[in-house]
Each structure stands twice: as C-alpha cells, then as structure tokens.
Structure 1
Amino acid sequence: MAAHPRKHRPPRAGRALLLAAILLAVFLWWDNTSLQVTEADPSFSDLPAGFDGCRIAVLSDLHSASFGPENETLFRTVAEQKPDYIFFLGDLEDQYRGRKPEYVTELADGLSAIAPTYYVTGNHEWAIGDVPELKETLTAHGVTVLSNQFVTLERNGDSVVLAGIDDPNGYADQKTPEELAAEIYAACGDPFWMLLAHRNNRFSSQYSKLGADLVFSGHAHGGLIRLPFTDGLFSHDWDLLPSHTAGLYEENGSCLFVTRGLGNSGATFRLFNRPEVAMVTLHRA
C-alpha cells in the first residue's frame, strides 16, 4: 500500500500566536467600541441646595464615531442615566473625516431630546472650518452653544452659572477666559459657577485661576493607553505620561473633571481605556 504524505500543520507555537493575535484584535475592537459608564461625585460647600444631587452627563471627543446605528446605543446609554443636563466638550467631528452635516443634526436631535444640552468647540471643529455653520445647526436642533458666554441654570428654586469658551484654535480676537470670568463676577456677584473648556492641559496654568468652582474638560482621550498607576501613557501629542487625563483634580481652589471621551482621531486607538459616558453628580458638602 502506498504511503500517503502527511498534511503540513503549523507548529503548536504558530497556532498559539495566531490565536493570540485573533484574541488581541477582538479585544482591541471591543475596547474601542464598547461604551463604559463611569461615575464621579464631587462635593462643594458652596453648592446651592437646589443642585444637590444634580446629575450631569459629560461627553467629549466623539470624532464622528457612531455607537450603534445612528448612534442609538449612545443615546440609549445616556438616557438610562437620567441626566439633568448634558455637557458636550468639543471635538464632535474629526478633521481627518471632515464635515458631516447630517451627523451633526442626528447627534443634536438625539442628545437634546434627553436633557438640556450645552456645547463648546474643540480644536478639531476649528481645523475643519465652517464653525459658524456648525453652531447654527446645533442651535437649530436644540443644543445651547456657549461661545465665550454664560447662562444661568435653575433647579429646585436655586441657580448656578454655566460658562463655556471656544477652543484656543478659534478666532484670534475672541474674548479671553479672563474677560469672561470678569463678566460673570460683574453680573452675578460671587456665584457658584462651572466652566466648559475643551483643553484639559490648560487647567493648571490658566483655567484653575479663573475662580470657577468646577471646570469640565476633555481633549486628552484618557491618555490613550491606561496602565496601572499612570494617568494615561501618552497625550494626544504623544507626550509621555501626561497629567489631568481622566477623573477629578483640584488646583488653586478650583476642581477639574476630565472625561476620557468617546472616539479616536485618525489612526489612534485606545487600550484599557473604553469610550466613556461620564456621569458627574454634584453634592452639597
């Protein structure tokens, strides 16, 4: 009887490497597309009693990503948290993907149907251009755009001030954060006030010195890769071991909350750093 040649099989080590590569690819896909809800609970002695327990959904750095068809998963996840307000901190779009008017409309309609939604620009909106048109679209679909402006929020008979600034990539002659803070104090005395400002890396040097009780920022993408005992491994500019990339911080008597954000820009990816729907619940100390 003629001998049959044995079929070639990859060595065990090769099969193990192939399996490991497949598992890593699946994990990276999940790690970059599966929403994670996180909670933060800052306390303030001067928070008006009417805002004790106020829940704020903090979103940022979507970069034109979609979670579910027409972002249904994102909207459902936010709605399930029952926020009083939604703060969107910029980089709604991505400069490498360009302007998508229908995407902006879809997002504005979906979020504003859940809770009052407030928005400030990030650096990517200005890199794309046509920011006035973007702001008009958001406003027409129920989102309040804060362009170096402030408004009063009311809850349970009390009020606080909410301010928002355009990204520094905006117009060269735009109102400065310091000028906006001076306007708040001139108009409102010494209120409890919050600031929406896209760039986390300006908190120490500038935003913490404005007098705001609480600043909300994004921009850092959680440091891209999060390892134990680090505040993120890389900044958005690929600086090593950045600071102020996720969670709560305090400097100069001002508190900062940074969200890890939702999307990725260009060829970047997340590792141990899932897209975040951050819920900040205010407490009166």
Structure 2
Amino acid sequence: MRWLIPIFIYMLIEVYSYQAIKAITKNNWVQIGYFVVSLCILGYVIYIFANYDRSVGPTKYTLRASALLLLTLVPKLILVLFLFGEDIIRSCVAGYNYLTNTFFEGTATQYLPDRRKFISQLALGVAAIPFAGLLHGIFKGKYNFKVIRHVLYFEDLPKAFDGFRITQISDIHSGSFDDPAKIEYAVDLINEQNADLLLFTGDIVNTMAKEMDDWIDTFKRIKTPQYGKYSVLGNHDYGEYVTWDSEEEKDANFQAIKDIHNKIDFNLLLNDSAFVEKDGERIAVIGVENWGHNFKKAGDLNKASEKVVKEDFKVLLSHDPSHWEYEVKKHSDHYHLTLSGHTHGFQFGIEIPGFVRWSPVQYVYKQWAGMYNETGRYLNVNRGFGFHAFPGRVGIWPEITVIELRKGSKPA
C-alpha cells in the first residue's frame, strides 16, 4: 500500500511526459518505445527497493536504481512544469472561447487549443540539461576531486603555528566506490598537499565495516604528516541504518569500524583530545563522537575537552555541522575552528563563486558547505570525499580541504 501513492504520482508524470513525445512525433514505434523503456525502468526500481534487505543495507543495486530513477524522473518533472503551464493557458483560452461563443459546434475538445509542438520541443530541450548533468555526475562528477584552500587569521594563534597547514577529508563512504584508479588518484592528491596535520571527520563506510576491506591498503598510502593524522566517527559509522540479528553483531561491527582507523594509521578520537606541539607551543585537537540535531547524539563536547584549558587554541572535529550551530558556537569556551562534513552538499547544486551558491540541502542545514565565521569562531563544512544514496555528484564536487593558519588579523 505504501507504494500506491508514489506509483500513482509517477504515472501522472508519465502521462504528461508522453504528451510531449506525442506532440513532437506521430511515429507509433517511438511512442511505444517510450512506454516500454519507462515501464521497464519503473519495474526495475520498484523491484530493487521492494526487495531492499535491511540486514545488508545499501548495495550497488540500490545505487543503480537511484541513478535510474533520478535520470528519468528529474527531466520528466521539467516536462510536467512546461506542459502544465501550457495547460493553464489552454484552459483559459478554452474558457474564453466558451464564454464568448467563438468555439465550433460539437465536443469540448474542439474549442480547447491543441498542444503546440514548439512548447514540447522547448520543454524537451530544457529537460535535456539536467539529464546531461546527471549523466556527467554519475560517470565523471563523483570523482571530480577538488582541492579547496582557505587561509584563516587568528590573533591568539600560538606563534609557532603561523603558517601551519591542515588537510581535511570527510565522508569517505567506501561502500559506494566502484573505480579503484580514481581513489588512488585522490589519495595521491591528498599526499601532494604536504600538510602538517591531516584530519578526517567521519563516515568511513555506509554501514558495514567489511565495506572497507578492499580499500585498507589504498587509504594506508595516505602519508602521515609530521604532526599526525586524527579522525572521528560519523552517523553512518554506528551501523544504525540496518537491521541486526543481535546487539552483539551490531557491537562487533562497530568495533571493527573503529579498528579501521588504526589500520590506516589514524588516531581515532572518541570524545577525547590530543595536543599538537611545535617549538614549545601547542594547539588542541578535540574529537567528539557524532552529534547531530536530527541524528545520533553520542558526542560529548565537555568530556572531549577535559584535558584542554580555556587558553588553548582549539581545533574541533565534529561530523555534523548542526553541532556547531546548536552547541559549539554558543559554548562558553572558545572553539576557534570546527571541522565538519556530513551534508555532502547534497551532491547536487550550483556553485559559481561570487554569483550563485545553491543546493537543496541549504533548506535543512544553515551551514552546508564551505567556510563560515561567526564572532571569530570558524566552521568548515567539507563537501565530502565519497558519495552515498545517489552514485554521482552534480555541481557539488568531492573535496579535499587545505586550511592554512596565520597569526594576526586578516589583511584589508
């Protein structure tokens, strides 16, 4: 029953989309072919999700089904917008004709204007744009790694750390990978940054620890900088999005996920902190477990900061940026820089520096991608290294962040 309403809506979209095809061509084979392909895709998607195994979680088949659904649904929604708009005009014209008795005698269809071929052609042309974008995102965009650089100024940064470089990665989601060569390239790109410190902000898998088995050697190639590699957990690392046969099995998976960090030479911080020392001075690296306004709240900022004093310069690792919005930025202690991920920038949006910056995720998260600053407290939301749910990225590319810390005030 829960599928009936979505299927009904989908079929209405199909009927409208068919009107565009019908207006452009009278070839019966093209029209029949359209229906056959659409029904096959719909049938495949329903079959995959109706047989979704919650004990296994997302698989390459669910990713493929998501891709097919979006590839067909998004362009058709564009068609619906155009044709529905045309129908409003056609209805107004028909009403005018009826009221002024200018219609021909006979059935109502004789005074309702026919669809214009030009409108259908225009609708198909516009719909081709998101279709092409989604195709690019699936085959190219998801591995279109970008290095994003920031320079941040702090008056109270210890002098020894002036020019200190931090590389951040987030949201690996290793269970979604399907191209080892691209991941090897990304690891090389991380190494090329020659950071002083490397930080990972959670979601190493989609659900299962075994998703990382084939990638341990690859991620172990990430060089350990002079001042180390630190990491935290994300919401997907707790194994809470599948059904387990027992709590013992779930706990074993969780422990295996935590063990992965050690296998790839990361120091996992579980509501804990560590100090990075340089030339007799130090900064604190603080790592909380996942804390999300709408997700698991395992993070304990006060516990994680027990070793830290108020005067310490603080870099906080917290997977979900809502933690910064609801707790960190208002905290009585001054957390200078918080590093998060989680949103992936929705893996879909438009970013043209200085002109446009939009993604559907901005209606859910106030801070969703990039660097934010309020009262001298900075938050960087990394757009993510991997991908999840949809096997692609459109306009929001996978990110490796490099942050340079500078002492003093920002130049005018």
Q: Tell me how far 1:100 sits from its aligned partner.
A: 2.1
Return the index of the structure with the highest Cα Rg: 2
Q: TM-score, normalized by length of structure 1? A: 0.80
Find the partner of 1:202 among 323, 330, 342: 323
* Change over 3 Å in CA distance of 1:251–1:24 after alignment to 2: closer
Q: How many residues align?
A: 270
Tell which deviates more after alignment, 249-258 or 37-46.
249-258
* Residue 176 in structure 1 maps to residue 321 in structure 2: no
The answer to whether structure 1 residue 193 and structure 2 residue 314 are counterparts is: yes
- Are the counterparts in 2 of residues 33 and 275 from structure 1 also a CA contact under 8 Å? yes
Give the superposition deviation at 1:106. Answer: 2.6
2:360 alignment partner, one of 234, 237, 240: 234
CA contact (8 A) 1:55 1:280 kept: yes
CA RMSD of aligned residues (A): 3.4
Identify the structure with the greater strand proportion.
1
> Any idea what SS the aligned residue of 1:278 has?
strand
Distance (whole Å) between structure 2 residues aligned to residue 138 and residue 59 of structure 1: 14
Are 2:220 and 1:109 aligned? yes
Cα distance between partner residues in 2 of 1:205 and 1:142? 32
Q: Does the 8 Å contact 1:221/1:260 carry over to 2?
A: yes
* Partner SS for 1:282: strand
Change (3 A) 1:19 1:233: closer
Q: Deviations over 1:240-275 (max 9, x none)?
A: 363211222123542111111122212364221111
Please name the residue that 2:136 is paired with. Answer: 27
Q: What's the counterpart of residue 166 of structure 2? A: 56
Letter in 2 for 1:48: P
Q: Which of 207-216 and 35-44 deviates more?
A: 207-216
Measure the CA separation in 2 of the matches of 1:61 and 1:216: 12
* Aligned amino acid, residue 27 of structure 1: H
CA apart distance, 1:80:
1.1
Runs of 4 or more off by more than 3 Å in structure 1? 16-26, 65-68, 112-115, 168-172, 228-232
Q: Quote the offset at 1:166 in angstroms.
A: 0.8
The aligned residue for residue 143 of structure 1 is: 266
Match of 2:341 among 186, 198, 218: 218
- In the TM superposition, 1:10-159 aligns within 5 A as 23-24=132-133, 26-28=135-137, 29-64=139-174, 65-66=176-177, 68-69=180-181, 71-95=183-207, 99-103=210-214, 105-113=216-224, 116-127=228-239, 129=250, 130-159=253-282
CA distances 1:196-217 after superposition (whole Å, capped 9, x unpaired) = 0000122111121332111100
Aligned-partner SS, 2:222: helix
Deviation at 1:91, TM superposition (A): 0.8
Structure 2 counterpart of 1:61, one-letter code: D
> Gaps spanning 5+ residues in structure 2: where?
1-29, 31-120, 241-249
**Partner SS for 1:277:** strand
Which of structures 1 and 2 has the larger relative contact order (alpha carbons within 8 angstroms, sep 6+)? 1
Percent identical residues: 22
Q: TM-score by structure 2 length?
A: 0.57
Helix, strand or coil at the partner of 2:290:
coil
Letter in 2 for 1:32: K
Structure 2 partner of 1:250: 373
SS at match of 2:277: strand
